[in-house]
Structure 1
Amino acid sequence: MSGRSSAQRRRNILLHAALAPLALIWLFPLWMMFIFSTMDDNGIFSPHVVLTPSTHFLENFNALEADTGFIRATTISILVATAYTLLSVTLTSMAGWALASYRFVGKGVVLATILGTLTLPYFVVVIPQFIMVARDFHLDNTWFALIVPPLFNSLGVLFMRQSFAMMPSELFDAARVEGVKEWRIFLYVAVPLARPTLAALSIILFLHSWNNYLWPLLINSQPAMMTAPVALGSLIGLTKVSWGGIMTGAVILTAPMLVLFVTLQRHFIAGISAGAVK
């Protein structure tokens, strides 16, 4: 046993030694982004490589807030991402449950359609979606336009369908024999068992909404409805680019996501790997 544990320890040391340089390569751009957020524009474009923070972070943030109203934009992004995640997880889990548990006419066509939408680039559907929401329904510059049109997520539906399909059907059949209603089986039996998958899907959907740039840029023309990524993009002008403000905003938007992932990485990994073993 001691020889086996010693060999396992050596393998772990070698694995960490091999992965540590890769982790540093991934972390270095994030560190430089933070360093640039503490510099003025002259420092950012200095030919000398600086690896320690400077003292201009608050100045960059004040300029960013004055130019874009970044606090308001970040608040809008938080509200939109939270609402989008809650609604999309609810819809995708219900659709996944229906596809995994019930037989109905056209089920194969529905699955084929969902799979087909995964092959379509987003740029193919964004213009018709914009015309429908803005011109036909006149819902541009509204919370509805920010949250509802992107709600359906094909990958999320398939993700939840696979999770529910892996659960023992005998458990649900026993509940049906006892007379439990279908919505109770879904809510009190299936959903608790799918908690790791729901956590992983929630993180993916929240990040998708948090980083979404194109759709909020198209559907909102009023500065009061700008999300944080769009606010950062507005700093890139024809004659001037506020690099210090962009770096500061990028740090502010990136830091919470890193904390969120580190905090919930156990649930994320469990949810992603749930489909690996059947």
Structure 2
Amino acid sequence: MTTRTPRGPRARGILLTSALAIALAVVGVPFYWLVVAATRSSREIFDSPPPVLPGGHLAANLHALQESADFGRVVLNSLAIAVLYTLCAGAVCTLAGYGFAAYRFPGREALFGLLMLGLVVPAQVTLVPLFKLMAELRWLDTYQAVLLPNLALPFGIFLMRQSLSALPPGLLDAGRIDGCGEWRLFWRVALPPMRPALAALAVFLFLYQWNDFVWPLVVLRDGSSFTVPVALASLQGLDETDYGAILAGTAVAAIPMAAVFLALQRHFVSGLLAGAVKE
């Protein structure tokens, strides 16, 4: 007597594989086209039918990019700003999340709810007040004007608070009973279990600052201090635009983002899920 393999699991497997293949194509084709366009001249990019294989203009596009925007300096500017922002905003969000999760004080929930309103308020609403504040402080065209307004990011504080809320309730109290000081309690007891959440926060903060366009465009005026998105936008001319150079710069700008995500991807999903389920 022969046994037949159930068709249900096999059909589900085929359907899942097909869906993943379609999703991969939807996500991967634009990136492949970006690589192809970065190696083509502006005229070839708009050929019909469009080219599907890489060309030989990558060096020329990178040279034009360097000549037009001093792109090497721009990339270093963005790297320095993104790394510094990740470290500073990560510290602020972690400490704020620890404060909301570990301490009970009057008005805690109301204050946290007010902070969470920042998630639904569009950033464009605060552009004018922040610009006037930077002008009063004489910080226009400085990196502190780019960094400081967004250090206490509501999503980062929410993520760290949820991660800390998932710790065993008596863990911090046990540390206090053993005579552990508050700073040591944070550094030695609360912080080690939060490594996945910290990795997820670092990825989010780095990508947030690396891709930020509107606020650096508002406060930065000198081309030598531009970030990558602002420098690429400045290459769009009224009469003529070198799309080959712009797309080559876009491809180069994607490398640090991919490197950060690949380096921390093992912790990214688990960090985002931290605190979602409590035992």
TM-score calculated relative to the size of structure 1: 0.94
What is the aligned partner in structure 1 of residue 30 from structure 2? 29
- Contact 2:40/2:244, CA 8 A, preserved across alignment: yes
Q: Distance in 2 between matches of 1:138 and 1:196?
A: 39
Instruction: Say whether 1:167 aligns with 2:167.
Output: yes
Structure 1 residue ranges, 4+ long, deviating more than 3 angstroms after superposition = 6-14
Residue 234 of structure 1 corresponds to 234
The residue type equivalent to 2:75 in the other structure is T
Partner of 1:16: 17
Give the unaligned 5+ runs of structure 2: none
Describe how 1:6-85 pairs up with structure 2 within 5 A: 12=13, 14-85=15-86
Distance in 1, matches of 2:89 and 2:71, equals: 26
Residues in 2 aligned to 1:104 and 1:277: alpha-carbon distance in whole angstroms? 25
Distance 1:206 1:8 in 2: 41
Deviations 1:35-79 (A, max 9, x none): 011011110111122211000001000000000011101100000
Q: Deviations over 1:144-174 (max 9, x none)?
A: 1121122110111111111101101211111
Residue 209, structure 1, aligned to residue 209, structure 2: yes
Paired residues, what number?
275
Q: TM-score, normalised by structure 2?
A: 0.93
Shift of residue 111, structure 1, vs aligned partner: 1.0
CA–CA distance in structure 1, aligned partners of residues 96 and 212 of structure 2 = 24
The corresponding residue for 1:129 is: 130
- 1:198 aligned onto 2:198: yes
Q: Distance in 2 between matches of 1:104 and 1:21?
A: 50
Cα distance between partner residues in 2 of 1:183 and 1:262: 32
Identical-residue share of aligned pairs (%): 36
Q: CA RMSD of the aligned region, Å? A: 1.9
Gaps of 5+ in 1: none
Against the structure 1 CA distance between its residues 165 and 70, is the aligned structure 2 distance closer, same or farther, given a 3 Å change threshold? Answer: same
Q: Distance in 2 between matches of 1:175 and 1:7?
A: 52
Q: 1:109, CA displacement in angstroms?
A: 2.5
The 8 Å contact of residues 118 and 154 in structure 2, kept in 1 or not, is answered as yes
